[in-house]
Amino acid sequence: MAISSSSWELPLVAVCQVTSTPDKQENFKTCAELVREAARLGACLAFLPEAFDFIARDPAETLHLSEPLGGNLLGKYTQLARECGLWLSLGGFHERGQDWEQTQKIYNCHVLLNDKGSVVATYRKTHLCDVEIPGQGPMHESDSTIPGPSLESPVSTPAGKIGLAICYDMRFPELSLALAQAGAEILTYPSAFGSVTGPAHWEVLLRARAIETQCYVVAAAQCGRHHEKRASYGHSMVVDPWGTVVARCPEGPGLCLARIDLRYLRQLRQHLPVFQHRRPDLYGSLGHPPS
C-alpha cells in the first residue's frame, strides 16, 4: 500500500476572510468557493468568520434573515462539509432559537461541523458587544441577540482540541483560560472587528490569548465594507502557542493556511509550565475548568 505523504504531515487548517453583505446567497457562494479551495489545498479544517451567513443593516433585517439550526442554510453547509470531506468552523450563525417569536432576538452561534456534515458542537456567544467607540459607530449587539448560557467543552478534531469562542469574547481572558484548562489546544475567535479597535487591539489580544494559554489561536475575520453602515478590519490570522503570527490573510477576501504542530505545543508547555504555577489560593476560581 502506498502511503501518501500527507499521512505524516502536520494537519493543515485554512482561515477564510470574507466581506458578508445582506445577500445570503451571494455570501454562501463566496464562502463555498473558499471552502472548496481549502479542501483542494489539503486542509482538514476550514474556519469561517463571525456572521459568515450575512451582515444586516439593522436588528429588524437581522431577525428577518436569521434561520434555525435545522434550516436551509445550515443544510447547505452540511452538504458542503460532506462534499469536500473537511471539518468546518462556522464562526457565528444568526440562529433563531425556539423562543425567537416571543423574544424577537436571536443567538450568535458558532457551529462546528465534522467531515460527514454532522453538527458536533454549538457555542452561543456569551459576551455581547455593547460599546460606544468614537469614530466607529455604536454597537448594541444585545438589541438583537441573547447571550449564550454556557461555555462549550473543547472538541477533538483532526487538527487538535478546539475551544470555541466568538469575537468580543477575546477580551475576556477568563474564558480562554477555562477552555485551556478543559483541554483546548486551539482557541478560535471568528470575528467582525471594527476599524478603530482593529488596529489598536486585534493582533495584540490574539497573541496575548495564545501566549497565556499556550494554545494555537485561529481568527477568521470579516473585512471591508458590508453596507453603508458597517465595515470590518480583516487581518485574519493564526498565532502559535509562542505568540508568533504564523499565517495572515492578505487584504480583501481570501484564505491563508497554517500547520498545527501539537508536539511543539506540548514541548512548550513542558518548558514553560505556567498552568502548574497558577495560584488559585490567591485569585480564586478564575480560569478553573468549566463545571
Residues carrying an active site annotation = 50, 125, 167
The helix, strand and coil proportions of the chain, stated in percent and rounded to the nearest 5, come to: 35, 25, 40
Distance of CA 62 to the CA centre of its chain: 20
Instruction: Give the whole-angstrom CA distance, residue 37 versus residue 12.
Output: 13
Residue 149, amino acid: P
Structural contact between residues 147 and 179, judged by C-beta atoms closer than 8 angstroms: no
Q: Give the phi and the psi of residue 39 in degrees, each rounded to 5.
A: -65, -45
β-bridge mates for residue 162, sequence order: 155, 186
CA dihedral of residues 119, 121, 122, 126 (deg, nearest 10): -170
For residues 291 and 182, give the distance between their C-alpha atoms in angstroms, rounded to a whole number. 9
Which cell numbers hold the place of 32? Answer: 463555498
Q: Which three cell numbers stand for residue 145?
A: 441577540
Return phi, psi of residue 213, to 5°. -100, -10
| Bridge partners for 89 per DSSP | 47, 112
CA distance 186 to 160: 7
Q: Do 176 and 212 meet the contact criterion of CB atoms below 8 Å apart?
A: yes
